[in-house]
């Protein structure tokens, strides 16, 4: 058995197989179109690889994808050194091949290969939908995961925001956001955020539904970026930099209005240590254990802090 990078033909062949896991509510043809468009996105072309674990006869036993993401590790001098981290996605083994350890061998082989080829290796992360035990075998450590939910509303009240954000504002918006003041963090590029918006564009077209009027908002020095998850009827907050509780309430109130106008059911955001104290007082906000997308981290070098100390905004999800 060996690890290989997939060819374009092999990627397309895996799409037909993985539709059963991730394709609903799209048809097979629509799902294949989604995957082709996402792979054609500039961030994917630059950052994405598809890996296959193959048998001696060339048969594919398991597969996954990796996406390179910028990460930053603080040194003893207090300065951050930029490095290379990788998000693993779409780990898949066909039903008839499960229970034989192929996915675990794939994960181990991919991490070793990334450690070997990365010019500035930091970590590998993933967002598990099958719990933690499978990936603990490969050295991944989970991060406690909570969501906050707010029902969409036409007029939730509270302060108005200073303005909404459009797709052309993403790069400038990321530049004004505060970076986490922690020893180690990952930070998305503008292209990575736009990859989430490309998913929104694709689902809006294929499911024939309206897109949200904005992809974020600003109030004072505070900022939020969001995207529509059409298949779940949610407006998902990708990044939230709220300087105080009043700003957090204003940004989330605007998100509720935007979600309502787009015909969505609710607003959802991932809890982070920096913003959690500001969100508990938002009227109507409900905190719940996250169902899936459990962040997990495996270091590629010594000296990284424990996984639970690493922040994971929704923009890092793949």
Reduced to 3 states (helix: H, G, I; strand: E, B; else coil), residue 207 is coil
pLDDT of residue 281: 85
Mean pLDDT of 29-52: 98
| Cβ-proximal residues to 307 (8 Å cutoff; 6+ apart), any chain | 140, 141, 142, 143, 295, 296, 297
| Structural domain boundaries, residue 168 | 146-289
Query: Do 132 and 264 lie in a common domain?
Result: no
Q: Which CATH number characterizes residue 154's domain?
A: 3.40.630
pLDDT of residue 215: 98
Mean pLDDT of 86-110: 96
pLDDT of residue 157: 81
pLDDT of residue 280: 83
pLDDT of residue 279: 86
Query: Do 46 and 133 lie in a common domain?
Result: yes
Query: Do 215 and 301 lie in a common domain?
Result: no
Q: Write out the two tokens for 114.
A: 């990334």
Mean pLDDT of 192-217: 98
Reduced to 3 states (helix: H, G, I; strand: E, B; else coil), residue 220 is coil
Mean pLDDT of 114-142: 95
Tens of pLDDT along 24-35?
Answer: 999 999 999 999
Mean pLDDT of 114-123: 94
| Helical spans, DSSP H, in the chain | 8-22, 28-40, 42-47, 102-117, 133-136, 170-176, 190-206, 245-261, 276-279
Q: How confident is the model at residue 148 (pLDDT cuts 50, 70, 90)?
A: very high
Query: Do 311 and 275 lie in a common domain?
Result: no
Query: Do 160 and 209 lie in a common domain?
Result: yes
> At how many degrees (to 10) do helices 28-40 and 8-22 cross?
130
Q: How many domains does the chain have?
A: 2
pLDDT of residue 234: 98
Query: Do 135 and 207 lie in a common domain?
Result: no
Tens of pLDDT along 269-284?
Answer: 999 998 889 988 899 9
Query: Do 183 and 272 lie in a common domain?
Result: yes
Strand partners, 286: 149
Q: How far apart are the first and last CA of the chain?
A: 27
Percent of the chain with pLDDT over 90: 95
Tens of pLDDT along 248-268?
Answer: 999 999 999 999 999 999 999
Among 21, 184, 41, CA closest to 89: 21
Query: Do 232 and 155 lie in a common domain?
Result: yes
Residue 156 has pLDDT above 90, yes or no: no
Query: Do 48 and 97 lie in a common domain?
Result: yes
Alpha-carbon distance values, 118 to 86, 255, 284, 301 (Å) = 9, 38, 45, 11
pLDDT of residue 158: 83
Query: Do 191 and 65 lie in a common domain?
Result: no
Tens of pLDDT along 53-97?
Answer: 999 999 999 999 999 999 999 999 999 999 999 999 999 999 999
Q: How confident is the model at residue 132 (pLDDT cuts 50, 70, 90)?
A: very high
Mean pLDDT of 42-58: 97
Q: Which CATH number characterizes residue 306's domain?
A: 3.40.630.30
Give the global pTM: 0.96
């Amino acid at each position: 058995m060996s690890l290989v990078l997939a060819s374009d033909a092999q990627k397309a062949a895996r799409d037909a197989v993985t539709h059963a896991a991730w394709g609903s509510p799209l048809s097979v043809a629509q799902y294949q179109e989604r995957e082709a468009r996402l792979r054609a996105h500039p961030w994917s072309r630059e950052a994405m690889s598809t890996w296959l674990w193959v048998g001696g006869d060339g048969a594919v036993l398991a597969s996954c994808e990796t996406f390179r993401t910028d990460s930053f590790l603080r040194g003893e001098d207090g300065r951050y050194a930029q490095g290379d981290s990788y998000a693993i996605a779409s780990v898949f083994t066909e039903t008839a091949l499960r229970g034989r350890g192929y996915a675990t061998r794939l994960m181990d082989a991919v991490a070793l290969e990334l450690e070997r080829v990365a010019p500035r290796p930091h970590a590998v992360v993933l967002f598990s939908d099958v719990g933690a035990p499978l990936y603990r075998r490969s050295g991944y450590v989970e991060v406690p995961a909570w969501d906050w939910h707010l029902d969409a509303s036409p007029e939730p009240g509270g302060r108005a925001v200073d303005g909404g954000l459009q797709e052309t504002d993403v790069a400038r918006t990321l530049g004004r956001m505060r970076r986490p003041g922690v020893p180690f963090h990952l930070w998305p590029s503008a292209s990575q955020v736009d990859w989430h918006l490309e998913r929104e564009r694709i689902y809006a077209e294929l499911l024939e539904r309206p897109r949200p009027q904005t992809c974020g908002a600003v109030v004072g020095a505070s900022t939020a970026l969001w995207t529509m998850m059409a298949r779940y009827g949610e407006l998902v907050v990708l990044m939230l930099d709220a300087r105080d509780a009043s700003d957090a309430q204003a940004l989330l109130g605007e998100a509720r209005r935007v979600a309502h106008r787009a015909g969505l059911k609710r607003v959802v955001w991932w809890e982070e240590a920096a913003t959690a104290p500001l969100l508990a007082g938002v009227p109507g906000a409900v905190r719940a254990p996250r169902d899936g997308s459990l962040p997990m981290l495996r270091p590629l070098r010594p000296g990284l802090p424990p996984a639970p100390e690493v922040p994971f905004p929704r923009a890092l999800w793949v």
